[in-house]
Amino acid sequence: MNRNQMSKNVFSLEGKLALVTGGGTGIGLGIAQAFVKAGAQVVITGRREYVLQQAVEQLGNNTVYVVNDITDKEAIPSLVAEIEQNVGAINILVNNAGIHHKAMAQDTSDEDFERVIQTNLLSVFSLTRECAKYMLERKSGSIIMIGSMAGLFGIDRVVAYGSSKTALTGLVNALVTEYSTSNVRVNAIAPGWIESKMFINAINNDPERKAQITNRIAMDHFGQPEDIGHAAVFLSSEAARYITGVVLPVDGGATVNF
């Protein structure tokens, strides 16, 4: 190993362009922040322009936004082409945008279930396939799915959400078998309970649920959006160049704690 190789920061994302869906708030914003700090240029997408504008102001000059509804599958090819032509080659895709539906299985309608699957799975596949078209030609890329603990073990009242996130693991596995020979890596992150104003308000209004959650976490605190961001930086960097097909829990030990 020569001196240049030794001095190279393998965790740096300098010169990389990342597309983060749902990047205006919460975990998506935390990922975008971590990417910018690691040196990447970042494109964030979402449905609400004012939210994206505020996020770009916070993130700085190395970030741009594109208003997009990920469920509009017909618009996905033009979204990716626009970024590729006007911003740059997409080196990293983070499929973060998703929706939730909280209801017991017997109270979940077919329409409720289909709406969650459409956003959290079918649209993710459509966008991944379109970005991969360019990545496979360049023989380089990192694709990250944002899964959930609900995809790793059963949680009540989230049957549609849990099913969609479980399916992402199967999607990761299948894509690894096809993309790896072109050096396009596919991994997933399964966040635990990540702190946000909405989350804190929700559990404070449900003491039984709050106790259930805090007892499940092995550590003594909730996660932060940047915890997911740091994991995404690692999986997108040269430090993880031989890692593909992994579902990485970032959950304070909740997945294994009893």
CATH, residue 97: 3.40.50.720
Distances (CA, A) of 247 to 14, 169, 188, 213, 227: 25, 7, 5, 21, 15
Model confidence pLDDT, tens digit, residues 131-147:
999 999 999 999 999 99
Residue 5 has pLDDT above 70, yes or no: no
- As a whole number, mean pLDDT of residues 202-210 equals 87
Domain assignment present for 207: no
Domain assignment present for 41: yes
Catalytic site residue from 134, 161, 179, 242:
161
Distance between CA 114 and CA 140 in Å, rounded? 33
- Domain region containing 54: 9-195+226-247
- Structure letter (DSSP) for residue 68: -
Q: What band does 4 get if pLDDT is binned at 50, 70 and 90?
A: low
Model confidence pLDDT, tens digit, residues 184-193:
999 999 999 9
In percent, how much of the chain has pLDDT > 90? 91
Torsion region of 86: left, alpha or beta (phi above 0 gives left; psi -120 to 50 gives alpha) = alpha
Beta-carbon contacts of 213 under 8 Å, excluding residues fewer than 6 positions away, are 193, 203
Domain assignment present for 16: yes
Domain assignment present for 252: no
Model confidence pLDDT, tens digit, residues 216-238:
999 999 999 999 999 999 999 99
Domain assignment present for 84: yes
Domain assignment present for 79: yes
Domain assignment present for 204: no
242 is a catalytic site residue: no
| pLDDT mean across residues, the chain | 95
Domain assignment present for 257: no
Q: Would strands 92-95 and 141-146 be described as parallel, antiparallel, or unpaired?
A: parallel
How many structural domains does the chain have?
1
SS3 for 210?
Answer: helix
